[in-house]
Amino acid sequence: MEIRSKYIALLIDAENISSNYIEKIIDEANKYGTLTIRRVYGDWTTPQLNPWKNKINEFGLTPVQQYAYTTGKNSSDFTLIIDAMDILYKDKVTGFCIVTSDSDFTKLVTRLREDNMFVFGMGESKTPISLVNSCETFAYLDKMVSPEEEEVIEEKVEVKVAETTKKAKTISSITPKRRIKMELKNIIEENIEDDGWAYWSLIAALLQKKFPGFHPRNYGSNVKPLAFFEKMKEFEVKHDGTITFIKNSNTKSS
């Protein structure tokens, strides 16, 4: 993916994301540019956010206080959204990284992109598909950690759920691999050249646009997308110098 952004505003919803993901968050965000703004939002008077307090200095984060004025509502939503719009109008960044699994931020992401902002998201696989698809690209944090690291992440804060309500079974927004393969076949078929091959760079870009949250690690393979598909019998890959081509296995070459 082409990196368009140089100056990034990193905005983290601490009431929705575990502090144990912070190193992964910083590493992933750094791939897209310089993190000129690093803010983490929540009601810091509550004990639930104590794990985050230990990470603030270590990772150069600025905590932003937001008191809970209503019961059962993620209090950090309002301040994060207002801050994001304030940052947008000050014209100091060229991109945003929104870290949350909360669908309430979908409209914010859409609004930022309307102003030609590069917006990438991070959250867990429970993140609603509406938020995932609103971003230009999206990384599932729980798929970026090893099984050993995943066992450590235990202090996740549940939001918008009554205290008497038991945690419901989480529904993943990760697109099934079979659908990824089916759509990739269609994209290749629609963009093949006269010789039956398609440019991989074009196909990869179109696939990412259709599925912003796609990454092989979502399916247990932490490799580059090309290597992921190259191992599948449904596709064939060839290299011509620095150019890579792909085709469906049942596509005949001229």
The answer to whether position 131 is within a domain reads yes
Give a yes or no: residue 51 inside a domain.
Answer: yes
Same-domain pairing of 183 and 120: no
- Can you give the pLDDT at residue 6? 85
For 205, the domain range is 177-248
Which pLDDT does position 171 carry in this prediction?
80
**Residue 198 maps to a domain:** yes
Whether residue 141 sits in one domain with residue 15: yes
CA geometry: angle at 193 spanning 241 and 208, to 5°? 80
**Count of domains observed in the chain:** 2
Whether 95 and 194 map to the same domain: the answer is no
For residue 238, the surrounding DSSP H or E stretch is: strand 235-240
Give yes or no: residues 140 and 181 share one domain. Answer: no
Is 170 among the domain residues? no
- Based on the domain organization, do 127 and 17 belong to the same domain? yes
Whether residues 73 and 182 fall in one domain: no
Q: Alpha helices, DSSP H only, in the chain?
A: 22-30, 50-56, 76-90, 106-114, 129-134, 147-152, 177-190, 200-210, 225-230
Same domain, residue pair 16 and 97: yes
The enclosing domain of 118 has a CATH number of 3.40.50.1010
pLDDT tens, position by position, for the chain (254 residues)? 444 548 999 999 998 999 999 999 999 999 999 999 999 999 999 998 999 998 999 999 999 998 766 555 555 578 999 999 999 999 889 999 999 999 999 999 999 999 999 999 999 999 999 999 999 999 999 998 765 455 445 444 444 333 333 444 568 889 899 999 999 999 999 999 999 999 999 999 999 989 988 999 899 888 999 999 999 999 999 999 999 999 999 755 44
